[in-house]
Structure 1
Amino acid sequence: MSAPFSDPIWQRPHAAIALQPHVPAGKHIDVVVVGAGIMGLSTALHAARLGLAVRVLDAGDIGQGASGLNGGQVIPGLKYDPEWLLEHFGPERGEALVNFAASTADCVFDLIRDEQLAVPFVRNGWIQAAHTEVALKAAANRDRQWRARGADAKLLSKAEIAAVTGAHGYLGGWLDRRAGVIDPLAYTSELARVALASGVEIAARQKVVRLSRNAGNWRVEMEGGAEVQAKFVVVATNAYSDGLIPGLAETIVPLHSFQIATAPLSSNLAGAILPEGQAVSDSRRILVYYRKSADGRLVLGGRGRMALPTTPADWAHLERALLRLYPALSGVAIEKRWFGRVAMTPDHLPHIHEPEPGLLAAVGCQGRGVGLMTALGKRMAGYLSSGDVRQLPFPVSPIRPIPFHAFRQIGVATTIAWYRMLDALER
């Protein structure tokens, strides 16, 4: 892939972190984490602070995957609201899950504050923008449920959402003030820095190719023949999962999330577009999400083709969405284009698996990975340290590959095309 399509707007902090150039053998390790994204680094950081010896191995570099390439929206909650969670998980598990979901954004912003992370952020909320009456009713229902639980949230009228977004075409929406935006590459890099400072060993460009049990421990083998042994292995590869755990990759549908960034906005445009710095996701079937960056650009993302992009035309659907929302941006250049891979599960919930004792995996962020995986990593560390399954917010479930998974992408592409047409008819 050519450079213009692999260069996101996000920035690493100036302070460089020193990663292990190799994997030393023979040292006792309690936990090996496969994947140095938000989930893996959060797990490693909190496990180390609970007294465990931890090593993180990643096939690439820090922030090279979706953790460093996402839109940087920090949104609490799940795709489902409290009443649905209580109905489907029961009063005890459901209540614990609701409380966990409510806390995920706090986990991120508390970590930035407490660890003094060099991460640009704004915490003025997230708006779910409604473009139809049906979507507006759903927003009102969500508002009722979360405000009954004390959430700092508000239902927005047509005039109010026009004022806070500056965008065209919305009938109203829902503002959740618990949310915010960050620079995701800076955040992932800083998680690595504080994990290293807490005693975690991190080795980049070390692809794990085989896991096997050996006398009660896990043998972790890498390309090139290096290996380590550990009591626990946490596979935190999410949308980049391969055959390391049999069947895991077939439990998710990987999707490409494309993003564009404008040139820095003029003072007039900046004052009219998202003047308070909220993040926005709309209610369309193929939604778009957007926010302003720390240097004053408008960043907009949405689903893209599954083939690797080859020309700027692969982002044309996002440029059309941008001008539909903000016609005044017609003369503003698009300076950055990039994409990452995200994982969806058929039931739109995160899944935790433990196919064998001491081997754990978590997949399925559903577009809320920054807060969700930060919080889940802390809970995963608690489980590794204590063995208490109640530390885990979601039930541990068997690995169940999606039937006809090999044909799933064809179905997804067809569905996306159909939904785009329906969305266009609802303008």
Structure 2
Amino acid sequence: MATAFSDPIWRKPQTASTFQSLPNGERVDLAIVGGGIMGLSTALHAARLGLSVQLLDAGEIGQGASGLNGGQVIPGLKYDPEWLLEHFGPERGEALVNFAASTADAVFELIRDEKLAVPFVRNGWIQAAHTEAALKAAANRDRQWRARGADVQLLNAAETAARTGAQGYLGGWLDRRAGVIDPLAYTSEFARVATAAGVRIAGHQKVVRLDKSAGVWRVSTENGVQLQAKAVVLATNAYTDGLIPGLAQTIVPLHSFQIATAPLSPGLAATILPEGQAVSDSRRILVYYRKSADGRLVLGGRGRMALPTSASDWAHLERALRRLYPMLSGVAIEKHWFGRVAMTPDHLPHIHEPEQGLLAVVGCQGRGVGLMTALGDRIAGYLRSGDVRQLPFPLSPIRPIPFHAFRQVGVAATIAWYRLLDALER
């Protein structure tokens, strides 16, 4: 993959932590595989609960989707409170709704309390509606969250146009609990504070084997290094491979492509997202966008299933940008990049414990920054106490998707079909 096709605008702070060596035969309470937000959050909170923690990543911190996403920090889940209560029951459902409501707080409180060098704006997120059906769904969502005291607001067409500067929306829903961050700075700073808390972080240590003997896990890397751990957390999400049999077949990995314009002129910046909100639209193949700390417009959406081979693979995003903001037709697109995300069939995160002392978490569903920050705290609490009530989602068995090998072909066809329908709807 050419580096020209992976050139994000996000940057690591100068305070970013450095990797530590991985001594062969080390013994720890907890080994974590994967150095994204989920792995780092679990590591930090576990260390502060008194556990010795070793985190291993196959590459560099921030190299995956945790450092390459759009930096939108959105609370909640794909489902609204009433659905969660009906689906999970009163007790579990209520706990899950409260957890979902708190996920953005977890991010911004971490930035504040740990004094992270992370650019951020917390002025909310707009779910913009392009059809009457989408606007009706937004009104239903607004009713449910407003009843719970959330700082939310239903927007009419004029209010949506004023806050986004974009064309073509009938209205929208503003959730002021949300915001935007620089995700690479956040992931890098997360690693720094985890290291300061006692977590050992080793990069370029791809884990290739997990074995259990006499209640202890032996973790083996591609480099021939081994360590022993009382518990293991697999936090690889969309980069999950065959380490736990069947786990990779429970998700469909997708690519999220992004583009960024040149810095906007003061005149354009004053009319495009003037209050700094993030936006996701209601299309079947949605696009999401925000402004960066250096004044660029950043827009993302689903890309091709295969790795990109030329700049034309981002053409659909450039078309979406011109449709929303015709005034940007003369502004250069300076950056193109992508990351890998994971989709589960029920659009919910899954927590698996196939064996005692082995946990795996997959499925961010587009809200991974807040969700995985908050979930790592709960996973650490569960590992320390053994109390399953620490977990907002129930433990579930690993259920591979039927005909998984053909699923991505079907997803690619579905994306193409949905993109055509979205174009016809304008």
TM-score by length of 1: 0.99
Q: Distance in 1 between matches of 2:334 and 2:249?
A: 36
Q: Distance in 2 between matches of 1:75 and 1:416?
A: 23
Q: Distance in 2 between matches of 1:301 and 1:23?
A: 37
Contact 2:26 2:226 survives alignment (8 Å):
no
Q: Distance in 1 between matches of 2:26 and 2:328?
A: 56
Q: Percent identity?
A: 83
Aligned residues: 426
Q: 1:175-214 counterparts in 2 under 5 A?
A: 175-214=174-213
SS of residue matched to 1:220: strand
SS of residue matched to 2:232: strand
2:231 maps to 232
2:36 maps to 37
Deviation beyond 6 Å, 4+ runs, structure 1? none
- The answer to whether structure 1 residue 5 and structure 2 residue 5 are counterparts is yes
Q: Distance in 2 between matches of 1:310 and 1:131?
A: 32
Q: 1:347-362 counterparts in 2 under 5 A?
A: 347-362=346-361
SS of residue matched to 2:22: coil
2:407 maps to 408
1:395 maps to 394
Gaps of 5+ in 2: none
1:260 maps to 259
1:217 maps to 216
What is the deviation of 1:65?
A: 0.3
**Alpha-carbon displacement from aligned partner over 1:138-175 (angstroms, at most 9, x marks no partner):** 00000000010000000000000000000000000000
What is the deviation of 1:33?
A: 0.2
- The answer to whether structure 1 residue 49 and structure 2 residue 48 are counterparts is yes
Contact 2:44 2:199 survives alignment (8 Å):
yes
Q: Distance in 2 between matches of 1:118 and 1:378?
A: 21
Q: Distance in 1 between matches of 2:231 and 2:93?
A: 28
**Alpha-carbon displacement from aligned partner over 1:220-239 (angstroms, at most 9, x marks no partner):** 00012110000100000000
SS of residue matched to 1:28: strand
TM-score by length of 2: 0.99
1:168 maps to 167
**Alpha-carbon displacement from aligned partner over 1:178-212 (angstroms, at most 9, x marks no partner):** 00000000000000000000000000000000001
**Alpha-carbon displacement from aligned partner over 1:38-82 (angstroms, at most 9, x marks no partner):** 000000000000000000000000000000000000000000000
Q: Distance in 1 between matches of 2:315 and 2:26?
A: 51
SS of residue matched to 1:331: coil
What is the deviation of 1:109?
A: 0.2
What is the deviation of 1:16?
A: 3.5
SS of residue matched to 1:260: strand
Q: Distance in 1 between matches of 2:120 and 2:396?
A: 35
Gaps of 5+ in 1: none
**Alpha-carbon displacement from aligned partner over 1:116-138 (angstroms, at most 9, x marks no partner):** 00000000000000000000000
Q: Distance in 2 between matches of 1:377 and 1:192?
A: 13
SS of residue matched to 2:308: coil
Q: Distance in 2 between matches of 1:257 and 1:16?
A: 25
Q: Distance in 2 between matches of 1:11 and 1:122?
A: 17
SS of residue matched to 2:395: coil
Q: Distance in 2 between matches of 1:374 and 1:5?
A: 28
1:318 maps to 317
Q: 1:115-126 counterparts in 2 under 5 A?
A: 115-126=114-125
Contact 2:352 2:359 survives alignment (8 Å):
yes
What is the deviation of 1:3?
A: 1.6
- Greater CA deviation, 25-34 or 216-225? 25-34
Q: Distance in 2 between matches of 1:192 and 1:7?
A: 22
Cα-Cα RMSD: 0.6
Contact 2:129 2:172 survives alignment (8 Å):
yes
What is the deviation of 1:5?
A: 1.2
What one-letter code is carried by the residue in structure 2 that aligns with 1:371? G
What is the deviation of 1:4?
A: 1.5
1:282 maps to 281
Q: Distance in 1 between matches of 2:241 and 2:18?
A: 27
Q: Distance in 1 between matches of 2:17 and 2:391?
A: 30
**Alpha-carbon displacement from aligned partner over 1:308-349 (angstroms, at most 9, x marks no partner):** 111110000000000000000000000000000000100000
1:18 maps to 18
